[in-house]
Structure 1
Amino acid sequence: MTTAYLKTIFREIWASKARFASILLIIFLGVAFYTGIRATGPDMSRAASDYFKQQKLATNSVQSTMGLTRSDTRVLATHRDQISYQAVKYLDVNQLNNNRVVRVSELPRQQTVNQLKLVSGRLPRTANEIVLDRQAQKLQPSLKVESTYRIVSTKALNNKLTHRTFKVVGFVNSPTYVENVSRGVTNVGKGTLDYVVYVQPKNLKQSVYSRIDIRFKNLAGVTPYSAKYKRLNRQNTRTLKRWLKPQAQKRQAHLRAVATSNVAPLQKTVTSLQNQLPANAPQLVTLKAKLRDAQAQIAAIKAPTYLYSDRDDNPGYTEYHENTQRVVALSTVFPLFFIAIAALICLTTMTRMVEELRLQMGTLKALGYGNTAIGSEFLIYGGLAALIGTVLGVAFGVNFFPRFIAQAYGSMYNLPAIHVQYLWNDIWVALAIALLCTLGTALVVLRVDLRSNPTQLLQPRAPKAGQTLWLERWHGLWRRLSFNHKITLRNLFRYKQRLLMTVLGIAGCMAMMITGFGLKDSIGDISVKQFNQLWHYDAVVTRSGNETSAQRHTISDASLYRADLKLLSKQVTIQKSGVAEQTATLGVPAQPSQLKRFVVLRNRQSHHAYALQSTGAIIDEKLAKLYGVHVGDTLTIKLAGQAAKRVTVSAIAENYVNHFVYLSPRAYRHAFGQAPVYNANLVQFNRGGEKAANAYADQLLKRAGILNVTLMSTEKKTNFKMLDSMNLVVLIFVVSAGALALVVLYNLTNINASERIRELSTIKVLGFYDGEVTMYIFRENLILTGLGIVVGCFLGNWLHAYILQTAETNALMFSPDIHPLSYVYSALLTVAFSLIVMGLMHRKLKRVNMLDALKSVD
């Protein structure tokens, strides 16, 4: 290949820079999407792995029904070569001064496991200093460093603390709580924790540990969530159980020994009195009865149950991994869909380039150049566009998309920002696809022309023969069409490849825009449907037991009050192998017939209403999907402190936020063997503002036995604030799809005009005005755009459904409906892009040199 020939190649690139730029831009968009979204899942996983390693997240935890003692820690101390551990004391408190359920946890003197990460301030140094979970500041914005924090609860709980007034010295994140909102369940107050506070040791007056967190050293360098991690973790759990197995009997023996020593004085007194008093003496009979009761209580002391858990039992830890897997699943289909459109456009573009340079190819062949030299021009042209597009696409995609998507998920998790990484396997795949789109299509197009002899190449290709359209047989319609419309239809169906490419390209872009707008609809509908259509109550009042007359008076005697429904409300956990543990609210209304006034239980599609039956439970749709249950199947639920129970699913109801299980009182008694304690009220308000609702909640909390008041207006803000960040993902879809639509339309329209430049010049010579020449092309484009929009609607529906399926979290279900306006917006944007492109084409067609265009090589 000579220097002159190389110069010719680069002159061709410069002369057709618009076409070169369009190929480069299409490759750039496709590669950026592919490498960027493919890197997002691994980047998110790596950020979590690094964080867990840095903060030394426990691999296992142990709890006991009777607490843990120094005897347990001494056993673990003998295995320090294999583990590090940390014993923790905590107390769950229902705060009466701020309507929150808080876990007060003592900070170990040395944090060897689950190290807290400071967000601001410092750790406490004295007994009257405290650090708060960062979630506390979100729920109570008035809390700041240097502010005062008071613990105000029941007298029994207050007496378990040595200090109750603290100075806030910092805010922290704990690796134990990966989720931003959830802090787990408790048997205090409303049943769920709001946040955790950390105090110095000896602030809690309890002699036993609440939990021991353990970190096995053989997992230190193993990637979390991997198959190797799971295999080693199973071995470690068995080992831990073996170490602590004798402890249950030892604890039982110790408790019995302590109880026996406490009864010893009574035993001694009875023995002494037996020698002094008659056997039927009242004093002796009474003491003997007390002794028998004490001995019976000693005999009834059972061995404690040790409860073992690992990271998989942490919902936030498990759900984060599931979200990264959803992103990976998303990256498998969506970028390939994007690249497929790019490949179609590249095929059309390279086909047109070969057609334009047909005369040059014939000249080179006549001069003695071989097929390799002639084909190299197209390979260099396409390869250079692919290479530059790939480099720019990788640089942009890997640095932009992972950060953008991780930021959307970041609002839901307490994890540091991700560090981007270049996944070279994916980058090489992207380069191979880019080269296939350009070089591959060039070779496919060249295969015929390179076999032709110079004489054939030096002559223009014969125009494609016309054919009779099926529309022409519809004589009544065809006769009514104008000449211009007949020409438009003939041209459309004459060039079937262009028709197919244009329709598919526009349909793909339309589908992605529908997906973007549809995601916005699905996210926005959650709030409307959940809080306006399904839930018809304004507050949930949680009590310590059955309602008293004083509590009834406080709840109902307010101008804000309209109606209420008593029910049992408890948090239950649901477990199944292979599915992250889920927390659901168990609801048992005192008057099942009145439930429909407060909660709508209906089929999502048919809106058929469900009623509670004497047997069976009504569960939410998302819970049914997660556990693969259908009507008639059974579901295992577990109340805190009770054995797991199985209930039959009688109906599956529409729901979008969190999980629920509803039972009738009779069904509850059948499942749990006891009568329900109606410990909560669903309260409806008259019209009133946020200030009035907060005042009502404050008034209720002053009444003894009322533990918590949850305002639905607050819940709505808390639950959906994080969903606002999902709009960033929606923006990615719309902007990217719009950019691709613009490039696709410009490229195809430019090719269409270039292919028919002689035809357009001819009608110009015949006296057509510039606007009429543009309309000659635009009518075809408009019809193709319309066909693409129709096909794109069906394709967008499928893509939207797939994205929803992969993007949902375990506690959230998106509304599957797309609003009609979203189709309208997508169609209008597509038409707008078509008009923009035709505006650019109009300027180009006005400057056409008719003499040059009409020259013939004959």
Structure 2
Amino acid sequence: MVRGSLFIKSLRDMRKSKAQFISIFIMATLAVFIMTGLDSIWFTVEKHADAMYRSANMSDLWVTVPNPSEQMVWGISKLDGVKLAEKRFTADADTALPGSPTLHVYALDGRSTLDQPEIHEGKFSKSGGAVLDISFAKAHNLKTGDYISIKLNSRWLRLKIDGLALSGEHVFAVKNSASLAPNHSEYGFIIINTDALKSIYGQKIYNQISVKTLPGSDIPQLVQKVGAVVGNNLIGITLQKDNGSVSSVNSRIQQFRTLSVVFPILFLLVTALITQSTMVRMIENQRSQIGILKALGYSKRSILWHYTSYGVMVGVLGSVLGLLTGPNIFGRIMVRQLNLTLNSYSLKINYLHFVFVLILILICTGGVSFLACRKLLSDAPAFLLRDKPPKSGQHIFLESISSVWEKMKFSSKLIARNMVKNKGRLIMSTIGVMGCTGVIISALTVRSTLSGISDYTYGTTFTFNQKIVLDTSKVNSTYLKNLELDGITQQIEETAVQVIFPDGSYKMELTNITTKESPLIYLQDIDGNPVSIPENGVLMTRKLCKEKGLKKGDIIQIKIKDKGYAAVPIEEIAYIASGQGIYMTDTYWESLGETFKPSALLVRWNGEPDQKFLDRDIVSDSATRESMQDGLSSSLGVVNLAVLFLIVLGSSLAFVVLYNTGMLNYVERVRDLATFRVLGFHNREIQYLVLIENYFSVLLGMLSGIPVGRFISWLIASTIDERLDLLGNIKLMDVLIAGAMTALFAWIVNKVIAHKMKELDIFEALKSVE
């Protein structure tokens, strides 16, 4: 009976203060929605990608070496920390299909257990036939039992398709440097047995050693030992995390992991502060009800749970709704937009993070209600049944400045005194607006920064019209110079080179070798000053230097083919927004003992592209600057879409916070406002007293939100992706947009409050609680 009556009372109280409870419910829902939604994106990708890596028994590192001997494989397998070492062959091959798409060939030995395909149809025959990329097969209407021809070493090999599969090395795979996003109709993989290579090369041939390490192995130290075993024949060692597909997947995970940490924290902080303030005030307004319940003989435990349940119910309902909608709306849409080839797209929810957020919300709702009610229960019923004694008046700072105070209107003095008297409310309102403005500014800044990457990369740094990927076996630098194409050209060799950094770490780093005259690649430092590729050293991108803790004058070691390592100085540092790596001139590259072999030709045509040249067999692929710019924009589009969601949600939170604080300000001063009405104040004058306070807190919050937005933008820009060098500088337009949105919300809220003030029941407001 007691519980039932208290439950009915709680429903009645919630209905009476429905605006405040609804706002708390919405804030809790938004906070959990954004956290679980963003969390589910990277968590889903990470779990499914890891499952594919385990299913494939993917190697932890690959050692690229021409024709590795059995002695090398045996020597590596005996190193401490190595579980297994196997040989394989890998290379790109042309196909006889329409459009001449490319397949990456993996040739495995009959006893191979590493880097296995995940078969979805058919089987992988150890004796013959092939397993084809299932996405590539669908794009070309191929099925098991069909035949496909591939071209290796200038000879054609016809293979029967025994199975269709996925590969952990092709979750996100691009054809070459002219492609920035996967295209399954142009590029895929095929897995064959090394026996099939005999008809092409006359014998079994290998060019890679796959290595599986033991858990807990010291990978950097192991890489050094592997390099010592292979010797000067080493071309490079690629760690699993540096594999092109794995690196791209990890970048996607990192992008959304960063967003899922930074923005939800802000949402939660704002929600926690406003909810805490709201619940305390609501319990304080129930002091007479608490006195009545105590006088009627209700136990302290019953009263405590009664008021605690207010916050618990709202917090749990909001959190559950956020959990149900965040992953299913936000996560489900975004995972499909990532352009990843996974074995499953079923959503994975990080329940550990959800429980943490739920506990935080319950502390801010139920916990705060509990403490506030417990504090009131220490007073006697007779004391609680009387009005709370008003705060004692005090002089404010402005009163000491008589020249200012005497010139102020009476209403302005009232506003100033009320804000000082209720500075806790002003501070909470300001912090709430500050957090929301910071969220909007940072989201707008990240969006404009990401949108500007493609324009900067292919508008300022690279100024070619077309990038032409070449068949390096058929061209050389002299041949390209003698072409006399109608336009400005620049030769470039794009390769991955084994680098030892000063900290002792090894990495296959993207290296661009080009001519000293660089008419189509315009490099700048962080301040926008032009930078030239040095003649006696290398140029390194700013983000890579920052990641490795390097500066001008530092020495790195580069692996030279068939030789040891050459020490080279970092002579210049340049800012490149997308695509980090090393640049050097062709003459310096050759002075190290290497041969300059252009892999691409950059062209700025004077007129129309030379189609006759583009149709030659020396051209492997080509892409216009516009298509590459669109490809980069497309690859960043999913993050932009997520940020757009954040802008909408941040704006919604800002509106709810402003409405909540504005309504509380009005409710707390109902008796004062009614008194002013009795004293003859006009509606417009009374509205001025309340609404100016709201605008003042909004103004303070907007101004303090600018540095908050700047800090968040910088934090996201510096951690979102190691391949992107984002500055995170806020723009005036983003600040103005955020300010205009916040001001608009404040105006709408004030309009609602002004309307309620017109309908104020003076007699009801002034009725004594005694």
Which residue among 205, 217, 222 is the counterpart of 2:200? 205
Name the structure 2 match of 1:229.
215
Instruction: Assess if the C-alpha contact under 8 Å between 1:133 and 1:197 holds in 2.
Output: no
Do structure 1's residue 381 and structure 2's residue 281 form an aligned pair? no
1:803-827 alpha-carbon deviations (Å, 9 max, x no partner): 222211x322234223322112211
Name the structure 2 match of 1:630.
551
Which residue among 663, 674, 685 is the counterpart of 2:605? 685
Which residue among 429, 432, 437 is the counterpart of 1:502? 429
Instruction: Assess if the C-alpha contact under 8 Å between 1:585 and 1:659 holds in 2.
Output: no
Unaligned runs of 5+ in 2: 179-185
* 3-state SS, counterpart of residue 202 of structure 1: helix
Instruction: Assess if the C-alpha contact under 8 Å between 2:558 and 2:566 holds in 1.
Output: yes
Instruction: Assess if the C-alpha contact under 8 Å between 2:235 and 2:559 holds in 1.
Output: no
Name the structure 2 match of 1:732.
645
Query: Distance in 2 between the 1:567 and 1:183 partners?
Result: 14
Q: CA deviation at 1:150?
A: 7.6
Q: CA deviation at 1:791?
A: 0.8
Q: CA deviation at 1:749?
A: 1.1
- Rg larger for: 1
Query: Distance in 1 between the 2:157 and 2:268 partners?
Result: 65
Name the structure 1 match of 2:45.
44
Which residue among 508, 514, 524 is the counterpart of 1:602? 524
Instruction: Assess if the C-alpha contact under 8 Å between 1:579 and 1:627 holds in 2.
Output: no
Q: CA deviation at 1:54?
A: 3.4
Structure 2 counterparts to residues 216-615 of structure 1, below 5 A: 229-231=215-217, 311-312=240-241, 314-318=243-247, 320-321=249-250, 324=253, 327-328=256-257, 331-403=260-332, 406-407=335-336, 410-411=338-339, 413-446=340-373, 448-474=375-401, 477-478=404-405, 481-541=408-468, 542=470, 544=474, 546-548=476-478, 551-552=480-481, 554-556=483-485, 558=486, 561=487, 563-566=488-491, 570-574=495-499, 581-589=507-515, 592=516, 594-595=517-518, 597-604=519-526, 606-615=527-536
Structure 2 vs 1, CA of residues 631 and 60 (structure 1 numbering), >3 Å: closer, same or farther? Answer: closer
Instruction: Assess if the C-alpha contact under 8 Å between 1:574 and 1:636 holds in 2.
Output: yes
Structure 2 counterparts to residues 654-665 of structure 1, below 5 A: 654-664=575-585
Name the structure 2 match of 1:818.
730
Structure 2 vs 1, CA of residues 586 and 95 (structure 1 numbering), >3 Å: closer, same or farther? Answer: farther
Structure 2 vs 1, CA of residues 167 and 715 (structure 1 numbering), >3 Å: closer, same or farther? Answer: farther
764-773 vs 454-463, which deviates more?
Answer: 764-773
Instruction: Assess if the C-alpha contact under 8 Å between 1:23 and 1:385 holds in 2.
Output: yes
Query: Distance in 2 between the 1:18 and 1:113 partners?
Result: 61
The TM-score normalised by the length of structure 2 is 0.83
1:220-259 alpha-carbon deviations (Å, 9 max, x no partner): xxxxxxxx734399999999999xx8xx9xxxxxxxxxxx
Name the structure 1 match of 2:154.
158
Structure 2 vs 1, CA of residues 168 and 311 (structure 1 numbering), >3 Å: closer, same or farther? Answer: same
1:393-448 alpha-carbon deviations (Å, 9 max, x no partner): 3333454555455445x32x432444444555434433321221123322443454
Letter in 2 for 1:311: Q
* 3-state SS, counterpart of residue 12 of structure 1: helix
Which residue among 752, 761, 765 is the counterpart of 1:849? 761
Query: Distance in 2 between the 1:136 and 1:744 partners?
Result: 53
Instruction: Assess if the C-alpha contact under 8 Å between 2:130 and 2:160 holds in 1.
Output: yes
Q: CA deviation at 1:317?
A: 2.5
Q: CA deviation at 1:754?
A: 0.6
1:102-134 alpha-carbon deviations (Å, 9 max, x no partner): 544558889965444579999999999994685
* 3-state SS, counterpart of residue 229 of structure 1: coil
Query: Distance in 2 between the 1:587 and 1:502 partners?
Result: 57
Query: Distance in 2 between the 1:727 and 1:581 partners?
Result: 30
1:312-366 alpha-carbon deviations (Å, 9 max, x no partner): 4524325534654665555455433322211211222122212321222233334
Name the structure 2 match of 1:295.
none
Instruction: Assess if the C-alpha contact under 8 Å between 2:44 and 2:349 holds in 1.
Output: no
Query: Distance in 2 between the 1:325 and 1:684 partners?
Result: 36
Q: CA deviation at 1:733?
A: 1.5
Structure 2 vs 1, CA of residues 14 and 634 (structure 1 numbering), >3 Å: closer, same or farther? Answer: same
Query: Distance in 2 between the 1:742 and 1:850 partners?
Result: 29
394-403 vs 507-516, which deviates more?
Answer: 394-403
* 3-state SS, counterpart of residue 170 of structure 2: coil
Q: CA deviation at 1:498?
A: 0.8
Q: CA deviation at 1:523?
A: 0.6
* 3-state SS, counterpart of residue 785 of structure 1: helix
Name the structure 2 match of 1:799.
712
Name the structure 2 match of 1:751.
664
479-488 vs 110-119, which deviates more?
Answer: 110-119
* 3-state SS, counterpart of residue 464 of structure 2: coil
Letter in 1 for 2:322: G
Q: CA deviation at 1:456?
A: 2.6
Structure 2 vs 1, CA of residues 490 and 338 (structure 1 numbering), >3 Å: closer, same or farther? Answer: same
* 3-state SS, counterpart of residue 462 of structure 1: coil
Name the structure 2 match of 1:13.
14
Letter in 2 for 1:627: K
Letter in 2 for 1:788: G
Instruction: Assess if the C-alpha contact under 8 Å between 1:513 and 1:738 holds in 2.
Output: yes
1:29-87 alpha-carbon deviations (Å, 9 max, x no partner): 33344455455554432211222233443456566522568x9999999xxxx999986
Letter in 2 for 1:179: F
Letter in 1 for 2:524: R
Q: CA deviation at 1:677?
A: 6.1
Instruction: Assess if the C-alpha contact under 8 Å between 1:177 and 1:183 holds in 2.
Output: no
1:774-813 alpha-carbon deviations (Å, 9 max, x no partner): 44422221121111111111101111111222211x3222
Structure 2 vs 1, CA of residues 579 and 443 (structure 1 numbering), >3 Å: closer, same or farther? Answer: farther
Structure 2 vs 1, CA of residues 833 and 711 (structure 1 numbering), >3 Å: closer, same or farther? Answer: same
Letter in 2 for 1:53: R
Structure 2 vs 1, CA of residues 326 and 540 (structure 1 numbering), >3 Å: closer, same or farther? Answer: closer
Name the structure 2 match of 1:22.
23
Query: Distance in 2 between the 1:614 and 1:232 partners?
Result: 37
Among the aligned pairs, what percent are the same residue?
A: 22
Query: Distance in 1 between the 2:509 and 2:53 partners?
Result: 24
Structure 2 vs 1, CA of residues 149 and 535 (structure 1 numbering), >3 Å: closer, same or farther? Answer: farther
Structure 2 vs 1, CA of residues 579 and 778 (structure 1 numbering), >3 Å: closer, same or farther? Answer: farther
Structure 2 vs 1, CA of residues 790 and 30 (structure 1 numbering), >3 Å: closer, same or farther? Answer: same
Q: CA deviation at 1:529?
A: 1.1
1:642-679 alpha-carbon deviations (Å, 9 max, x no partner): 54433211121110121342334564455x14675667
Query: Distance in 2 between the 1:334 and 1:372 partners?
Result: 38
Which residue among 141, 154, 167 is the counterpart of 1:174? 167
Q: CA deviation at 1:744?
A: 1.2
Instruction: Assess if the C-alpha contact under 8 Å between 1:570 and 1:639 holds in 2.
Output: no
Name the structure 2 match of 1:280.
none
Q: CA deviation at 1:713?
A: 2.8
Which residue among 612, 633, 638 is the counterpart of 1:720? 633
Instruction: Assess if the C-alpha contact under 8 Å between 1:84 and 1:112 holds in 2.
Output: no
Count of equivalent residues: 749
* 3-state SS, counterpart of residue 539 of structure 2: strand
Unaligned runs of 5+ in 1: 186-192, 220-227, 249-301
Query: Distance in 2 between the 1:454 and 1:135 partners?
Result: 77
Query: Distance in 1 between the 2:63 and 2:18 partners?
Result: 68
Structure 2 vs 1, CA of residues 135 and 462 (structure 1 numbering), >3 Å: closer, same or farther? Answer: farther
Structure 2 counterparts to residues 110-121 of structure 1, below 5 A: 113-116=114-117
Name the structure 2 match of 1:830.
742
Structure 2 vs 1, CA of residues 458 and 238 (structure 1 numbering), >3 Å: closer, same or farther? Answer: same
Instruction: Assess if the C-alpha contact under 8 Å between 1:636 and 1:644 holds in 2.
Output: yes
